[in-house]
Amino acid sequence: MRSDLVLSTLLDNDYTPEQTLAESLKVSRRTIQNDIKQLNELDSGFIIEKYKSGYRLSITDSALFQPYFESLQFDVVDSQEMRLDKIGFLLLVYPDYITIQFLANELCSSSSQIKKDLKKLEQLFKEQGLVLERKAHYGIRVRASLAEKIAWLLQHVSYRGFITEYITDSQQSQLSSLLSDWFQSCAYIPDIAEIHIAEQELALLLCMEMVSGSLGLEELDSVLDKDLETIKHLVSKDKRQFLENSLSIRTRQQQDTRSLSLKKRIGEYFQTFDTVHQTECSSDDEFLNVVCLHIAALIERSRKGIVSVNPYASHISKNYPVIYNAALKFSRWLEEIYQITITSDEIAYLATHMLVPYQKSRQKRLEQQYRIGVICSSGGGIAQLVHLKLRRIFPNAMIQTFSLLEKQAIQQFQPDLVFSITDIDCALPCPVIHLDEIQENLDDMSMASYIDSFQGSRSRSMEDLFLEWLSPTFFTIRGKEEYREILADLASQLEVDNQQTGYMRSLLEREDYLSTIYAHGIAIPHPMEMRGKENIISVCLLPRGVQTEGIHPKIIFMVSLKEGEVEKHQIISQVLSKLMEKPLGIEALLKTENYQEFRYQLKHILEGK
């Protein structure tokens, strides 16, 4: 409590001015006066007197004061963000109304500050469909279902730190072990992310019981060596029912009874997907069965308000943008068919399932009988090493190594694909890729994208290919504005100049699902569908920052590609992922003042110079 901090400060100093106390605790002088008054009324072996130099603490009875002082808590929440998090947590876990004074005491703050914080928190709640309800003489509370409260708490990672104020780390560890044992006994064991969510749900439900006074630490301790069934009976009936529903859905004990209809519908949906992406999803029984099981559970989770958090959502969105977009469109179709809401985390889970047949199709293409030339200075050494790596990726290919001097032999070989350590001065009717550009990342997924992307291009590396899509026409430097307005302006220009109707709407809608701002402020916004006339990357530098929530973007690389050339999106993601690993390079780019300077600097950064 704040008054505890006041007492501690006075104990450490001879005289403490009232203004000093107010400033250190970020409250008004009137609040300090009230705290001093309350402390003097405690009759705990001390008295606080006011002098010209400030307040002074005098201990009148050490036998009373010592045990009292040792029982005090000195936690204080300083920043506004921390206060908002703590207030939100308390409102969501408390079962009934709580007073502003209670919140002020808990956060060591003033009532006026709490009122200001509540106005901001009320808006945040409102955006998520939660209502902050006030009642005279009672206080405030959040009007929402248990599922809605749990969903909010799970989605805000910062809230989870407050659980330890009620349930110790050791107790949480024991609860995790109980849940783990229970999951091991199930016919279907969910993945680790789902298990972690179940652990957090259980901890939050127990927190709610503890703050209501229905459960004590000793009672919880006494059953931690039992089983999950015993733990369930520590919570009220509605919380127990929520937990049982959540666990049964996560272990797929509850599934959509229309599984045959579901499988048929999904198979029909993926026929179009197969045509566009050259996959075989609609005829892949293993894929359809897994996806049907997942969607059946997803439908149950959505209808019962059970949250699924995917810690890899941003990673999937960044590294596999084509598949994430496809999963997003699939989710919208499911939402319309089943009248449910699918979160960005659930979309990422669907994307992981879709990656499997997508990868299979890429691998199948790589199993064709390509003729591949590997060119090094002598035709040995590095060439032989790369030969071995390529053999794993292209199992049926005819791979031959050449020295730089064997120009005629290379042409006579008539390769479909060439890997070289340097530029070669003989004309070849096939993609030529620099070894140093891909040697460290030789993998099936990337290779399939390279083959598609380099066709018809003069570029000799994926960095050069990336630079091909930049243009001074689509380069801007913006001031401190609202991020969404900047996105709308850039997108509207691309919509007109690249002749893609609906580009801006599609891009903003995609951004609403999951932000495309990644590490060190690199943003890669894009629409859900690519139908541009040309392949263009619109660049916008934000050296003075922007107004936005969460990660602050520094450089925007807005993507617009030709229809049927979405594989190039994979190249863009890989190049920009490489840039994200160079924060000093990003800062250098922010200091450039025109397109030519930016392009020159970017080329050097990507080349590792």
**Per-residue tokens: 287:** 């894929």
**Per-residue tokens: 236:** 């009220």
Q: What's domain 468-606's architecture?
A: 3-Layer(aba) Sandwich (3.40)
Yes or no: is domain 367-458 CATH 3.90.320?
no
Tell me whether domains 2-70 and 80-158 share a fold: yes
Q: How far is CA 512 from CA 155, 156, 344, 506, 599, in A?
A: 16, 17, 9, 10, 30
Question: How many residues appear in the chain?
Answer: 609
Report the pLDDT value the prediction gives residue 480, as an integer from 0 to 100.
80
Contact, 274 vs 280, CB < 8 A? yes
Query: What is the identity of the amino acid at 54?
Result: G
Q: What's the fold here for domain 80-158?
A: Arc Repressor Mutant, subunit A (1.10.10)
Which residues of the chain register pLDDT less than 70?
A: 1-2, 26, 73-81, 127-129, 157, 252-261, 378-381, 423, 435-461, 549-550, 609
* Cα distance from N-terminal residue to C-terminal residue, the chain: 55
Contact, 327 vs 354, CB < 8 A? yes
Contact, 295 vs 256, CB < 8 A? yes
Report the pLDDT value the prediction gives residue 449, as an integer from 0 to 100.
60
Report the pLDDT value the prediction gives residue 258, as an integer from 0 to 100.
46
Report the pLDDT value the prediction gives residue 257, as an integer from 0 to 100.
42
Report the pLDDT value the prediction gives residue 600, as an integer from 0 to 100.
94
Report the pLDDT value the prediction gives residue 493, as an integer from 0 to 100.
95
Q: What's domain 2-70's architecture?
A: Orthogonal Bundle (1.10)
Report the pLDDT value the prediction gives residue 380, as an integer from 0 to 100.
62
- Residue 545 bridge partners (DSSP): none
Report the pLDDT value the prediction gives residue 129, as an integer from 0 to 100.
66
Contact, 68 vs 118, CB < 8 A? no
Q: Domain spans of the chain?
A: 2-70, 80-158, 166-250, 259-341, 367-458, 468-606
Report the pLDDT value the prediction gives residue 356, as an integer from 0 to 100.
86
Report the pLDDT value the prediction gives residue 202, as an integer from 0 to 100.
93
